[in-house]
Amino acid sequence: MTVRVVVVGGGWAGTGAAVAAAQAGAEVILLERTDMLLGTGLVGGIMRNNGRFTATEEAIAMGLGDIFHVVDLCARHRNVDFPGHRHATLYDVCKIEPAIRNLLLKKGIQVHTQSRVKDVEMEGKTIRAVVLDSGEKIAGDAFVDTTGSAGPMGNCTKYGNGCAMCILRCATFGGRVSIAARAGVKEYAGRRADGAVGAMSGSCKLHKDSLAPEIVAQLNEKGVVVIPVPPHLRKGSDILAKKACQQYALAEFAENIILLDTGHAKLMAPTYPLSLLRQIPGFENARYEDPYAGGVGNSIRYLAISPRDNAMKVDGVENLFCAGEKAGPMVGHTEAIITGALAGHNAVRLALGLELLEIPPSLATGDYISYVNEQVRNNREGLAQKYTFSGSIYFRRMQEKGLYTTDVAAIRDRVEEAGMSNIFGRRLVPGSRAF
Ligand SMILES: Cc1cc2nc3c(=O)[nH]c(=O)nc-3n(C[C@H](O)[C@H](O)[C@H](O)COP(=O)(O)OP(=O)(O)OC[C@H]3O[C@@H](n4cnc5c(N)ncnc54)[C@H](O)[C@@H]3O)c2cc1C
């Protein structure tokens, strides 16, 4: 018996979906519009900070260990503390993509880059195939939309400061196309605190060789550098309200330059005018590595979110699932991997006629998925929030509910008690080969 799952969008959510569907025994085709996997994950790198540690260990206990093992192998620093954040792992953004691509290939996933989906073929409320820019049709039993929520370029002009030339490279590969929207789903957008549409991405990358040697030495050794900014060179606290990453919307991030070593020097600010930055000692020759116009702006995200249930099925389409930023105002690689895995696993269940899986709320990962849904469906203010295990509103909830812990044995026990041990590692398709 064969089940074919087509995952559209090769970011961290698409990676989680493809791995879980393959581990469940499906034939998996992953379609990515650019020439590299991992989307915004190509310029991120922060893992395991605050509640993401707990979520990561839950995910490993649920059968996603291979993904996080690769992340750990690509780590430049472990157990890093920076303002408001503890025990972070920082992966090397220059090493992670080939490592993840190899993992997917080893799992038998058919990875197609430079394969942008432009449309869908429907039969009633069921998607039969997706259509690539080339006109080629890819049929499947179930589909996962992990196309993210950023771009195309016109949106960064409309809601931001113009195209900042970010890693998504819309000008070269064509903009994001939402599969759910092509299937007729009415999507919604996240909001900023002032009601404006979308949110500006929260960090830039500086070329390390453009910084003073003592800054680079400290970054390489400790993974983090905090440099106080003289008051006349601060950008003002209004910038904090614009950020997608509300977990970093703390005064320390306005009063200091905070750099993290992810291979590049990750500057924890959405944008910083080069003329101001270069007045700070050590930054006289600074230049941006990502986005190229980081001194002017950054990508705008959370522009196209699909209504979905807690099994990650998109409302109104029989065989479409979603995950990552497509599935709510959710921020983060860890968040994308876990929601992706649930979507990919359930795509296989749907194709086999099995009951769809929800992660129980006794686990942080399950509580997160249902809480975000509840907030955006029933609460207008919910759309102005961003949800992540690593800070802000959801990390507070995790702590209040006693869901945050770094005790790995206790996390494993909790997963076991919930009946979820290795759930994403179990084969569902009869006769399929094991990975
Ligand atoms: C600058 C920046 C820094 C960040 N830093 C961190 C960090 O340090 N730690 C952290 O946890 N989070 C970080 N984040 C947030 C995190 O990267 C995202 O929330 C998460 O990775 C989103 O994953 P995703 O797969 O949902 O979406 P995306 O990463 O946006 O991936 C979507 C993918 O779909 C592809 N795609 C779109 N349309 C189509 C189509 N029609 N056909 C085929 N492919 C398509 C895109 O090319 C892209 O590869 C950062 C985000 C940004 C922008």
pLDDT digits (tens, 9 = 90+) for 277-336: 999 999 999 999 999 999 999 999 999 999 999 999 999 999 999 999 999 999 999 999
Among 256, 271, 290, identify where a domain stops: 290
The two structure tokens encoding residue 195:
């009601």
Mutation choice for ligand 1 from 50, 76, 147, 394, CB with most ligand atoms inside 8 A: 147
In short, whether 16's Cβ falls inside 6 Å of ligand 1 is no
Is the pLDDT score of 381 beyond 70?
Answer: yes
Whole-number pLDDT of residue 412: 98
Whole-prediction pTM: 0.97
Based on the domain organization, do 43 and 9 belong to the same domain? yes
Cα of 351 to ligand 1 centre, how many Å?
27
Domain membership of residue 431 (yes or no) is no
39 CB within 6 A, ligand 1: yes
* pLDDT tens profile 345-374: 999 999 999 999 999 999 999 999 999 999
The CATH number assigned to the domain holding 105 equals 3.50.50.60
Structure tokens at 164: 């900042």
| 167 plus 120 within the same structural domain | yes
Top mutation candidate among 333, 339, 386 for ligand 1, by most atoms within 8 Å of CB: 333
Q: Is the CB of 325 under 6 A from ligand 1?
A: yes
Measure 330 CA to ligand 1 centroid, in angstroms.
11
**pLDDT score at 376:** 93
Is residue 430, in this structure, part of any structural domain at all? no
The residue type found at 433 is R
Q: Are residues 182 and 250 in the same domain?
A: no
Q: In the sheet where 126-132 sits, what is the strand order?
A: 117-123, 126-132, 137-139
Is residue 40 over pLDDT 90?
A: yes
**Domain extent for 279:** 199-290
CB of 116 within 6 A of ligand 1: the answer is yes
Percentage of residues of the chain with pLDDT beyond 70: 96
Looking at 269, 290, 311, the residue that finishes a domain is: 290
> 219 CA distance to ligand 1 centroid (A)?
25
Residues 283 and 407 in one domain: no
Ligand 1 atom 18 nearest Cα = 332
Using the 3D structure, point to which of 239, 270, 290 is the last residue of a domain.
290
- Ligand 1 centroid to Cα of residue 10, in Å, is 9
339 lines ligand 1 (CB under 6 A): no
Residues sharing a CB contact under 8 Å with residue 44, sequence separation 6 or more, in sequence order: 93, 203, 262, 333
Distance (Å, whole) CA 283 – CA 281: 6
Closest CA to 44 of 200, 203, 250, 259: 203
Residue 187 one-letter amino acid: E
Dist. CA 211–CA 283, nearest whole Å = 5
Q: Provide the domain count of the chain.
A: 2
Residue 434 inside a domain? The answer is no
Kindly state whether residue 149 falls inside one of the protein's structural domains: yes
- Residue 166's pLDDT is 97
Residues 37 and 51 in one domain: yes
Task: Give pLDDT tens digits for 147-175.
Answer: 999 999 999 999 999 999 999 999 999 99
Same domain, 182 and 211: no
Q: Residue 234 — pLDDT band, cuts 50, 70, 90? A: confident
Q: Dump pLDDT digits (tens) for 61-112.
A: 999 999 999 999 999 999 999 999 999 999 999 999 999 999 999 999 999 9
pLDDT for the residue numbered 230: 85
